[in-house]
Structure 1
């Protein structure tokens, strides 16, 4: 058995690899690794500079044999200390024979992203960087790794065999440094408003790459494209990223980044991403696309449409080319992170862009600043440009994506008001917000160490560790009474179409903002929530002013998260429940349930259920239970007091009549109100009212008609609209 010494000479920026015999071998048998200065690695792509000090781990795989079937007999973490001058000893005992020595260096992301760890056991042919389970495109963008291998035959008579391995970068990089980003572009027969910018590839990104090449010297490309087929390398939501129009409304503006770690010129955009090498396809290799919205002549609005595509060609005028390992593809010029000297962002006021292809080994800039490739971000499952939440309290998850490298972040809410107005430039705010701005209506649910909710809420969170996490956002109920006009009959209606249009835009607006340490501007998520619709249903002792608040959607309906349009599902029409039950076994009333206040009926039924009263068990799965929802008003300090008597509920007869009467086509605004209320003439709506001691029937209202006092079997499938009272008014 012989000891083997491996000398790893890592590829320099300017110098040739150095090979020699180490003189300070520890006693025993093993492998001694050393590194030459100039390793060009970094896990942050914001310029063409490089720095070996961002290497976080190095491991060595030793295979017995030199072909694809060679088995890995040793995989070892070399305990990298971040010092290029150190040598690393790995104790092992190798018998005579042929071996392949494969070394891998990773940044602080690549090890977990691609499964490049020191516990590999497999063959040389199957030794690959593979996208790990749970990792995705965003993780690949911040991960790079290096690899190199050499084969050696260990002879019986040799005591020590010098093995020289050169590490080379296995990923490629795409860097975009841009200026004059247009706020609008000519599109079809008009103009389109630009909202997003993205860089796309000719084919979907690869998710794995061989670390050993049977044909040495040939280009190695990745394989196994993303299952989603996603070709987008990265996308920037300009509003969320704090870009605002200039004074003329022509180009987007934003102050340049001016930190110790990164400097950019004003009104520019800088993004970069690593990716696995990509063979050329039949489509243009790189595309820069502007996305936005436009309105046709008939008033139809289209969202998230590609409104302009820039031609990107290389220095040879070709649009189709491969993306090779160890090369940087630059759109615009950015030499150094910490300086704007020599900066030349690509100009988007034209139509053609050139990509400059640079071998990383040829880059002569020497700069050691670490860089934030991207600040912490907030990811949601809805299209913030068009989606608006309904009035009842709601909870939804957001994913807080850690910055790269990971840094402390702070999460807070910025509400629209006179002070913050500038932050909402380019955002259409609610029609009533200028006169009655809303604040303290967004909170974050607190969880314990196991991720379980504690019942507490916060309006601001700081994480010194900068970890990514899933967070639950809670929106309070939005039910503020609006002024309606009387018609002399003691009732109040929406009497003009201008008022209908104003009520369609009655929502409140805020940003959830996340600030990354070292950056000035936050990443933002736009949140908007509709106010409930004010309706008049008659004054009673329980509701002296006669007004109620109606949700904008029926039970079982929702706004589409991509388009914002109302969606009526197959489960929207439901039975009433309480089959073969008389009022006394539902609400405790002798012959009839309440005609005026639905909350009375629901509260009585709920209390009978809690007490275990006769028939109370039928409350479960009834329409009364399905629509009952406590009014949520979390205070500014995060406290919340439950009140079982303040609820959303199924309307009583006169309340549902009050809602449905607004869309009556005989009224001046009846037709316009159908869109406002998301309701059609003739649709049947359950009431919580039962008359004449009925056993199997309950009252319903046919919307927009005068034929109101109707009964239906409780197993019929009808619609239901939640309402509540203006408890705070």
Structure 2
């Protein structure tokens, strides 16, 4: 602090040009408070940004006296000064545990992390400097202290990113590149240290000894889902990613490359595996001729290939090395941020990558250093790996609310804490205490779905989302319901670690409830979207209209008289018709079991299965269109035909209806050709 204001070196002339930034501070000692006698003293200076005080258990400002670290208290020794990741600070509640509204950041990449409430390690700069000096009373004692970073970093610049690789004879699409640290991450770093007699760094450089258990920590990763393959193949017939540079902000890099970086607290070289690895992860996919080149539904995120990072430095084993403070470890060369001259990204065409180390102050590349999670984190993703935005970041902002039709194809991506490998995942229902958890997790050990699951390390967990078609209390009408997914860290004894948790709130629409014209027929629930509608995973907006379908039963004569019950119509069709006559039709594809389960196509199996969702009857469909024709949330295609499950007396026709140009539901039952492609809206029996 100078004149009550923190010093900001980034606004000084010459910042970012390889020049040291300097400032002079005058320390006045009131004699009635501090009595300093002549002799040798040590001065410690710590450089913080607006977040690192909370991140590393260091504080400054008016309230610092009540939260100052142990080494700053009377009687403590500066030789014991350490910066400790706040989760390890004994007896100190985290700032967000007191007031979650104080967590804020201007970094877009940190919004998800801040939403979970943990400190911003991603952009928390930590500098320290120390100097011994001789103190003489009644003299101006000038002490020069140089501050250096007490963290290490890795800069990863890669080219020749594979689009597809095989494991055996099975093709996989690469969907992300990870930079992994194969050693337990340190949680503290010394702020002062001397040199050993041999001239080697002290253990204080590494925060003390850490066991060499082969624990994988993902430092950062690059998502490739939005990129496409290049049209040309390599000599070996493989495809590589096409990665244009128009997605970059504030820097230049070569086409078809990725650049990412990570902070890490320094570690000593006692791991049993390569210290750093670049890994390719992805899903099984169908590359057969004539296929849509799709990721195979239900396939698990799998490690496809690893590249150990080799450091030809002073280490005896080139793949096992220390990470020193104020050093940055380069995988690939990136000299300057505003041009590509001298760029040599490391190629993934081989089997390993190379690391070189250099002083951090010589690096000026605007790459965001993502955070290493102090608490376990999770994200909800669809079958293709796209991440859902399930909560608004700001008031009024759009986010994804799931439709009333349940599913079994989404998954949770778990990232374990750097401090605790084990975790517990729990589905906590919201609202009334009588609510049951409507999201369940697939347990591989029992081959069933559970509401509480424990695990270790990073993992993908498939979830079962229940259907929601509940006749509401019309006074306290609920159009949606919420559930809290709670992820808690576990210690070595399996106990929940206080404060080391994150949560995710998921919201689901109730079905659009329709009161049938005949009271005895009860209620029907309708999906809010036409069959086959595609939505943006972030905003929830419709990005592609629903799929149009033929009605079905092209060669069979089945006339149904269940005018108000689509489920009964489906049962009659199944019992009277060959299934091959209607595969791919509206009748068949709209019929789903609970939680979106696809019903068997095999004839005997189909006869035994009960649909939960089905193509509605003509009366139910008309009731729906009449009740919701002016409701924008119903997403009805005006002027377009919708199929019902009722057939006509002539085998070529089935009954359809629509909202006409005047906005009225046609009273006539239109007998349309079964082969015509019309919209379909799924329905169920609401309870």
- Bigger radius of gyration, 1 or 2? 1
